[in-house]
Structure 1
Amino acid sequence: MKASYLICGLYVLINLAATDERNFRIYFDDFVIKYKVPDIFEKVDSYVVQLNNRSYANIEMVLKRDLADVKVRAIMDFWKPNNPKKIRFYDIRLDACALLQTFHKNKLLNSYMKSFKKHANIILLCPFKANFTYKWSNWFVDEQDLPPFLFLGKFRTITEYFTLGRYIARVVVHGEVLPTQ
């Protein structure tokens, strides 16, 4: 009997946490994409817009050839206010094609990928197509997809892309987790 009360109580707490209004907002200061291999990329553009108390990234990419083998190294560092010590949230290496097809154990990375897919102009699958314009319009991180207890502070993500063992691109995002006003 006590076990059923415990299970019901946990269920209620989980539902409350999932629907709790977040008291923080994710802001992007920079969203920079640099590609290293001009024989793969026809075009890569990105810019950030600050609108209605939110940061939106807009990205456009055209490939010169199909890409079927894409590996990723993703790093996220975080700095709490008034503390110069860096906290490493993750440093992972994975297969981008496999990531697009499945969920990863890291919940922060999963919420990022869910949001990234939601704002793409196509269902993201491998191989990535040549001569196709991939667009992410007004992409943002929805705070409701994140845990309700996120630290306030500054962050940096570095995502490096490789194909056939060759380093091809890097995305660096600087931003902040700030309290809502």
Structure 2
Amino acid sequence: MIFWFWIGCFSLIFTCVRSEERNFRVIIDQVNITNVDRDVYENVECKVHQINNRTYIDSSHMFKHKVEDLRVHAAMDFWKLNSKQKMKLYDVELDGCYILENANKNRLFNMYVKSLKKHSTVKFKCPFQANVNYEVKNMTMNEEDFPSFVPLGKFRSLIEYIINQKMRARFIASGKIIPYSTDPLKVLT
């Protein structure tokens, strides 16, 4: 009987934590693309727009040749509100093809891949084909996928695509974590 009481308590706590409203919003201010290798890419672009206090990203990648060997270097730095001290949240290099198929083993990458797949016009999988527009429309990060508490502050994310052991494109995104009810254009500037 006591066993079932504790099972019921844990179930209730888990349900409450899972359904807790998020009191923050993830805003991406800009994405810059540099170091694009035009021998690999026919086209690569990324645009950020804000609608109804939410960030949306549109991007497209078109390769000139089939891409079978894709590695990704990803790093994220974070500065808490009113702090100049940088925290490195992660700095990893991953097999890009593996992460597209097996992202569920890492919560953070799972969130990203889940959103990528939801908003893509073509299935992202290896090998990437030449002259196919790998496009993402209106991709956004769902705060419900994050833990219930995330500190307010600014972040900078770096993603580098390494193809055939050479860096071929670099994406740098900057943004902020703001209170849910705040105008993103007036906070943390």
What is the TM-score of this pair, normalised by structure 2?
A: 0.90
Task: Determine the structure 2 residue equivalent to 1:58.
Answer: 58
Report the Cα distance in structure 2 between the residues aligned to 1:171 and 1:5, rounded to whole angstroms: 51
Report the Cα distance in structure 1 between the residues aligned to 2:35 and 2:128, rounded to whole angstroms: 16
Instruction: Please give the per-residue CA displacement for 1:106-156, whole angstroms capped at 9, x wherever unaligned.
Output: 322221221122111122110011101111111110111111111111011
Task: Determine the structure 2 residue equivalent to 1:43.
Answer: 43
Task: Determine the structure 1 residue equivalent to 2:74.
Answer: 74
Matched length: 181
Report the Cα distance in structure 1 between the residues aligned to 2:26 and 2:45, rounded to whole angstroms: 22
Q: Which amino acid aligns with 1:32?
A: N
Task: Determine the structure 2 residue equivalent to 1:90.
Answer: 90
Deviation, 1:35, is 4.2
Task: Determine the structure 2 residue equivalent to 1:102.
Answer: 102
| Contact 1:31 1:57 survives alignment (8 Å) | no
Given the superposition, is the C-alpha separation of residues 34 and 3 from structure 1 closer, same or farther in structure 2, using an over 3 Å criterion? farther
Report the Cα distance in structure 2 between the residues aligned to 1:173 and 1:108, rounded to whole angstroms: 16
| Contact 2:79 2:155 survives alignment (8 Å) | yes
Instruction: Please give the per-residue CA displacement for 1:50-106, whole angstroms capped at 9, x wherever unaligned.
Output: 110111111122110111110111111111011111111111111010001112543
| Contact 2:68 2:128 survives alignment (8 Å) | yes
Report the Cα distance in structure 2 between the residues aligned to 1:77 and 1:94, rounded to whole angstroms: 18
1:159 to 2:159 alignment: yes
Task: Determine the structure 2 residue equivalent to 1:173.
Answer: 173
| Structure 1: segments with no counterpart, 5+ residues | none
Deviation, 1:33, is 2.3
What is the TM-score of this pair, normalised by structure 1?
A: 0.93
Between 1:116-125 and 1:4-13, the stretch displaced more is 4-13
CA root-mean-square deviation: 1.5
Identity %: 37
Report the Cα distance in structure 1 between the residues aligned to 2:72 and 2:103, rounded to whole angstroms: 15
| Contact 1:153 1:176 survives alignment (8 Å) | yes
Given the superposition, is the C-alpha separation of residues 4 and 81 from structure 1 closer, same or farther in structure 2, using an over 3 Å criterion? same
